[in-house]
Amino acid sequence: MAEIAGDFAELISGDELKAAALRYIGEMRAKIERDQNGLHSVFDSWFTRVLGQLIQFDPTRAWEDSVRERVIRAPAQFGGLQWDLHRLRQFLDRWRQGRFVDYARREQSGTHYHPRFGTEFGADVLLTCQGAPSLMRWRGIPLMKNVFDFAMYPMLIGELRPHTIIEIGSGLGASALWFADHLVMNGIDGHVHSVDRVRAEAAHPHVTFHQGDCADPARLFEPGLLQAAPHPWLVIEDAHHNVAGVIEHFHTFLEPGDYLIVEDSDIKREALRGFVGAHPGDYLVDTRYTDNFGRNATCAADAIFVRMEEPDGE
């Protein structure tokens, strides 16, 4: 990764790290009072404990140096704190970047994480988080989502309140039914359009299953459907075929505030680089959803995009 330029490659450290930790704990305390009725989450408790230990070190030295020195002297005693400090640095490095982050910057700062998936955790979690040996089911139908996305999508639907959900790749139809149930549960007047090479057989009053082939994106849906579908939209690419062509097709219909999610994105990075490169500033990664359960704790690693306002009248 020698081509990585600038401070994105450097994990936050030294005085910047200390300042960010103090800023974050202020925000965290306010959140605990405002949103959690004074109750600490596991993460809140962990952060408080680790910071409490770090601020006892010599204030004139970087925490990284103080901890490293102690690990050399007493590895059994301080090895855990070294791990804590690394996780704290990773977290604050993300936090300082803000919620909406450029795709290139995400890729660059991914160097501090899993080499393939850019996750905070390893392939062991990814291997089983969709269910092993059994998939989860929704309304009795196997659902091809992992446990992180099973929590992420309802949060996003609740915040975005999409009037149209477009799914490319219906599978057995469970995911479209699941999205529609979340529309109903949130009292959202919305509809799901889900397309597959073979029309799914499931049924739901808020879902229309379509038959279409990603090889010809313009004909995935009947003429006029996309022009008429009310915004905001949540578009999910989950067919893994002609990804570049499919997302480029949807670009012409997406409006500011709409979301585009590309699932299993680790195998689609070339298409994504081309797409965001062709539309500079139009799409940012919403890290509230990619990272809420740890960096890239989603099958849509770096690929939960929000369509931004057009910067220059494109």
Ligand X SMILES: C[S@@+](CC[C@H](N)C(=O)[O-])C[C@H]1O[C@@H](n2cnc3c(N)ncnc32)[C@H](O)[C@@H]1O
Binding positions for ligand X, rule: CB under 6 A: 143-145, 167, 169-171, 174-175, 196-198, 213-215, 238-239, 241
**Least separation in angstroms between CB 221 and ligand X:** 12
**Least separation in angstroms between CB 228 and ligand X:** 22
Exposure class string for 162-184: b at 16+ Cβ within 10 A, else e: bbbbbbbbbbbbbbbbbbbbbbe
Q: Quote the CA–CA distance of 314 and 311 in Å, as a whole number.
A: 7
User: Which of 280, 303, 278 shows the shortest CA–CA distance to 290?
Assistant: 303
Secondary structure of residue 94 in the 3-state scheme: helix
Shortest Cβ contact with ligand X: which residue? 171
For ligand X, the closer of residues 234 and 239 by Cβ is: 239
Helix axes 42-54, 14-36, angle to 10 degrees: 140
**Least separation in angstroms between CB 211 and ligand X:** 9
Point out which residues pair with 207 in neighbouring strands.
192
Judge whether 12 and 92 are in contact, CB under 8 Å: yes
**Least separation in angstroms between CB 141 and ligand X:** 8
For ligand X, the closer of residues 196 and 302 by Cβ is: 196
**Least separation in angstroms between CB 244 and ligand X:** 13
Report CA-CA distances (Å) from 28 to 42, 54, 158, 166.
Answer: 12, 17, 23, 36
